[in-house]
A and B are shown apart, each in its own frame.
Chain A
Amino acid sequence: MITTAIFWLFALVLVGAAIGVVTSRNPVYSVLYLVLAFFNSAVLWVLLEAEFLGIVLVLVYVGAVMVLFLFVVMMLDVNVEKVKEGFTRYMPIGVFVALTIVGQICYVVWHKKMGFELMVTPAPTPEGYSNTEAIGEVLYTQYVYPFELAAVILLVAIVAAITLTMRKRQGLKVQDIAAQVAVNRNDRVRIVSMDVEREPSTDGESS
């Protein structure tokens, strides 16, 4: 009963936030709505007893990805008017896609005769069951190759992104830390023994 109430509360805020992402005029507000949407879906996952996924969603998307989004949106001066230019032109196709998806979902949920097996509510997990361990066990045994493959693809993507943005600028002053550390006294300091320029005055008391 309380779980259902919590579900509805967070689900409604989630949908509201998702609408806010596309309707708000200020791009910074859009990003913030997206953060709210991620946070609410994380809560929904925790309600499903998938606490590992829920917390990781907050950690990765809210804590890192969206911070960079916000960073970029604040730095760029996004011209909202220009982005909205083709709105009326593309509206019909957008409405069509949205209605199709909503229709399909309704069909699956309510029209149960089509042979779609609806998932029955799983029994709550026993106390002491660790979601994290369960995921780890499957990920590193059954799905170890797909997992490693995904990791390598991500690495390639990182390398590609860095190479694309790398450019050598002329006249850039760069510190060479290794050279600074490796320097020793003899490279910098030279002891010079000089002849005395002027004879020290012998009549010290009279002057």
Chain B
Amino acid sequence: MVEFLTGWLPEGLQFTARTLLYIVAILLPLIISVAMLTLAERKVIGAMQARLGPNRVGPFGLLQPFADVIKLLIKEVLLPNSANRFLFLVAPMLTLVPALAVWAVMPFSPTAVLADINAGLLFVLALTSMGVYGVILAGWASNSKYALLGAMRSAAQIVAYEIAMGFALVGVLMASGTLNLGQIVEGQSGNIATWYWLPLFPLFIVYFISGVAETNRAPFDVAEGESEIVAGFHVEYSGAAFAMFFLAEYANMILIAMLTALLFTGGWLSPFQGIPVIGDTFLGASNFIWLALKTGFFLFCFLWFRATFPRYRYDQIMRLGWKVFIPITIIWLFVEGVMVWAKIGPWSA
């Protein structure tokens, strides 16, 4: 179909046009997923608190996120009087652009990936680490004490948890021997016990919790703790500029959930793979549906945490990141090194 759509273009432009079409084919479903995730969040938390959640707009409230988007887009973007105009308007884009650009290297199935680069995982790490600039600059440019406090908290938290996250990924790299996301998934094939969650169990837990902290989600959402600093770094933002922060936050949630699915729970590999009888039917085949199910499960965990845990105090967040997670990852890297050396477990081959 892509060939049909771009066939009439001159030779040189076809590649560009195709790439643009692929980008739209990735980003459009992503944005719709973000919209549905906001609805799912309100529905799931509603159910956990014995409420109904939004159910007025459309059947089962399905059109609620679109109503929210329209409301946000037609609202006025307010500029605080003493704000730094340029940085105030650039900050939301600095958050959104890396959050969307990361998806270029994400594999969705064995064949569907836009840019199959060697250093895919490094690219993901580099781009997600850039998102913090939007947050800091938003807080600083707003020229408001609550926004600045929120930005400082968020920056310290993201920098702290990035280290634990990076160490957890080192463990994945040691197990797979490659930085290419597709090959990391293929390296886990076998059965449910050869997925990396089992041999790398502590790293799996540390990675997912650090991911929750990286995205500033509850219970690590001191950056926008409403009881202390109103709404944190985006307290001065309204309308479309606020919507961009919102979109970036939810896109990052989906990214972390999908990365956890890809790196630790076998991505598109079927959990029935390797089991006699069932494994040979269509249930054992690897396809995108398994990846979507696993991603959906981790996204549900994000919402579940939010409905369950009270917010961490700031110093406890720092303690957890620096004094608990980083030592755990370092110890497990050492254990893993011994396992590789002694050829135990998945390294026996």
Contacts and interface: CB of A to CB of B under 8 A. Distances in A.
Contacts of A35: 133
A74 interface: yes
B162 A71 contact: no
Interface string A49-65: 00110011011001110
Contacts of A59: 122, 125-126, 129
Contacts, number: 63
A131 interface: yes
Contact of A74 (B126, B136, B159, B179): B136
A35 B134 CA distance: 13
A79 to B, nearest CB: 18
A70 B133 CA distance: 9
A132 B119 CA distance: 8
B159 A56 contact: no
A161 to B, nearest CB: 15
Nearest to A42: B126
Interface in A37-91: 51-52, 55-56, 58-59, 62-64, 67-68, 70-71, 74-75
B126 A71 contact: no
B152 interface: yes
B119 A55 contact: yes
B343 interface: no
B132 A67 contact: yes
Contact of A55 (B87, B126, B152, B158): B126
A11 interface: no
B117 A51 contact: yes
Interface in B111-146: 117-119, 122-123, 125-127, 129-130, 132-133, 136-137, 140
Contacts of A130: 118
B155 interface: yes
Nearest to A62: B130
A182 interface: no
Contact of B123 (A28, A32, A55): A55
A58 B126 contact: yes
A102 interface: no
**Main secondary structure on A side of the interface with B:** helix
**Main secondary structure on B side of the interface with A:** helix
A17 B225 CA distance: 36
B119 A68 contact: no
A206 B319 CA distance: 63
A71 B119 contact: no
The number of chain A residues touching the other chain, given as a range, is: 20 to 34
A194 interface: no
B259 to A, nearest CB: 15
Interface in A2-55: 28, 32, 35, 51-52, 55
A132 B118 contact: yes
B319 A64 contact: no
A177 interface: yes
Of the candidates B126, B137, B319, the one having the most CB atoms from chain A within 10 angstroms of its own CB is B126
B89 interface: no
Contact of B129 (A32, A52, A62, A75): A62
Contacts of A62: 126, 129-130
7 closest residue pairs by CB, A with B = A63-B129, A58-B126, A59-B126, A55-B122, A55-B126, A130-B118, A74-B140
Given A56-B122, A62-B130, A70-B133, 12 more contacts: A51-B118, A55-B119, A55-B122, A55-B123, A58-B126, A58-B127, A59-B125, A63-B125, A64-B162, A67-B132, A67-B159, A71-B136
Interface of A: 28, 32, 35, 51-52, 55-56, 58-59, 62-64, 67-68, 70-71, 74-75, 130-132, 175, 177
7 contacts: A51-B117, A52-B122, A58-B126, A58-B130, A67-B132, A68-B159, A132-B122
